[in-house]
Amino acid sequence: MIMRGKTTAGPLLGLTELVDEPHISEILVDHALRGIRVQVVLRMLLAVFVLATVLLDPPADGAALCIVVAVLYAVWCAVGLIAVSRIRIGMIRFAWLALFVDLAVLVVLAVVASRSDQTSWTSDVLVNGFVVVPMIAATQLRPKICALVVVPTVVVYFIASALARVPNGEPWSLIAMRTWVVATLGLGAVMLSTVQRSRVSTIGTLAAQRARLLDDTVRIEERERRELAEHLHDGALQYVLGARQELDSVRAGADPGALDRADDALREASRLLRSTLGELHPAVLEQAGLAAAITDLAVSVERRTALRISVDTVGWPAELRTTSDPMLFAAARELLTNVVKHADARNVELSVEFDDGMARVVVVDDGRGVDDAMLDRRVAEGHIGLVARRVRLEQQGGSLTVTRRPGGGTAAIAEVPATSA
């Protein structure tokens, strides 16, 4: 009994794994730099707000200290704004530490200004700056760091509002509601950071898969060229060389049967060349359909190997042409090639069928048997033909399943959704 199933797409790669992928680290660095640029702009706006607050409405007690802290913070932000275009990759990992500087500055100013709550509104205005901190943290690709900043921000906001409650005459309910709004913004910042990280991981994973597919394509093309060269060299070319030798004998007049042997060699070379061309791009596939092309493929493989191949096309209507015919033919060719090279089989059963919108090719052999685990080992050794076919089938919503038969041998099923052409 043949077990059928679909392979599932691999999980998203983490940022750590993506950094090790060639060309992918550039994508991660670019996204990180964009986040840092947004941070610097928001931080500069926060510094302008803080400086304007302490200058326009300085606290009655500790005004000088507040102005000094605000000026130093503004200068620090301005330096960051200038230096952001020259930031190095190694500095990206530590950019999140600046968030705690933002939080520390606001805490210091709020604490100093709170001593003058009876006579000034400085503390009440400054406390609104805490709302900006979660927004700055949201640009990080590290949700945990964002949460680590948001939690103390909400706590400090609540404490600062509570200290100013009596002078301002605010009820606890109003303070609780304002703190709830800040906490909601903080939670949104953490969730936004999570979404950004997920998007970057998705983009990086897709880029990594694309790079690997391109590499696999190059390797497959090289392998197919090598196999074609070997096929022509060991087949048709040998008959052509033999024919030339026979023609030399004809010229010398030493062997009257040489001309007949040369003719036989050229006929065989012609047959092998047609067979090779038919396997590469069978004209019969377009003219007579997949069932006829599969039958010709089996005959061609039988002629050049010791395999006995039985073909069953009962499940495929002779007049049927689908958009997936070339893909299934290529899959059948690859599966038979693997049987010839690796299975050590004597008999092969090849069938093709169309059922309920699914086109299917089944190859069953009596060889040594192979399964997905063994395929993974062959991929590690550089044999990627079947894996490439599987990827192409999955891209079209299909699958390639390879299982070891209980009685020995292998059963391989290539299937893909198909519509009439």
Does residue 3 carry a pLDDT above 50? no
Amino acid at 224: E
Predicted pLDDT of residue 126: 84
Predicted pLDDT of residue 305: 86
Structure tokens at 12: 């998203």
User: Dihedral of CA 143/146/148/151: which sign?
Assistant: negative
Predicted pLDDT of residue 13: 45
Q: Are 31 and 200 in contact, with CB atoms under 8 Å apart? A: yes
Listed ranges 1-15, 218-232, 358-372; the one with the highest mean pLDDT: 358-372
Listed ranges 10-19, 71-80, 170-179; the one with the highest mean pLDDT: 71-80
Q: Are 376 and 7 in contact, with CB atoms under 8 Å apart? A: no
Does residue 168 carry a pLDDT above 70? no
- Give dist(CA 295, CA 165) in Å, integer: 88
Does residue 224 carry a pLDDT above 70? no
- Would you call 349 exposed, middle or buried from its count of C-beta atoms within 10 A (0-12, 13-18, 19+)? middle
Q: What is the mean pLDDT of residues 264-293?
A: 70
Q: What is the mean pLDDT of the chain?
A: 79
Structure tokens at 390: 């599987």
**Which is it for strands 347-355 and 308-312: parallel, antiparallel or unpaired?**
parallel
- Give dist(CA 117, CA 303) in Å, integer: 98
Does residue 51 carry a pLDDT above 80? yes
pLDDT digits (tens, 9 = 90+) for 188-210: 989 988 888 888 777 777 777 77
H or E, element range at 361? strand 358-365
Does residue 220 carry a pLDDT above 80? no
Does residue 87 carry a pLDDT above 70? no
pLDDT digits (tens, 9 = 90+) for 235-262: 666 767 677 676 776 666 666 676 677 7
Predicted pLDDT of residue 237: 62
Query: Which position has the higher pLDDT, 95 or 53?
Result: 53
Does residue 27 carry a pLDDT above 90? no
Predicted pLDDT of residue 61: 83
Confidence of residue 4 (pLDDT cuts 50, 70, 90): very low
Which of 16-30, 144-158, 323-337 is predicted least confidently?
A: 16-30
Does residue 8 carry a pLDDT above 50? no
Confidence of residue 24 (pLDDT cuts 50, 70, 90): low
Q: What is the mean pLDDT of residues 342-349?
A: 89
Q: How many percent of the chain have pLDDT more than 90? A: 16
Q: What is the mean pLDDT of residues 375-394?
A: 70
pLDDT digits (tens, 9 = 90+) for 102-127: 888 988 888 888 777 666 777 778 88
Confidence of residue 371 (pLDDT cuts 50, 70, 90): low
**Which is it for strands 410-417 and 358-365: parallel, antiparallel or unpaired?**
antiparallel
CB atoms within 10 A of CB 183: 18
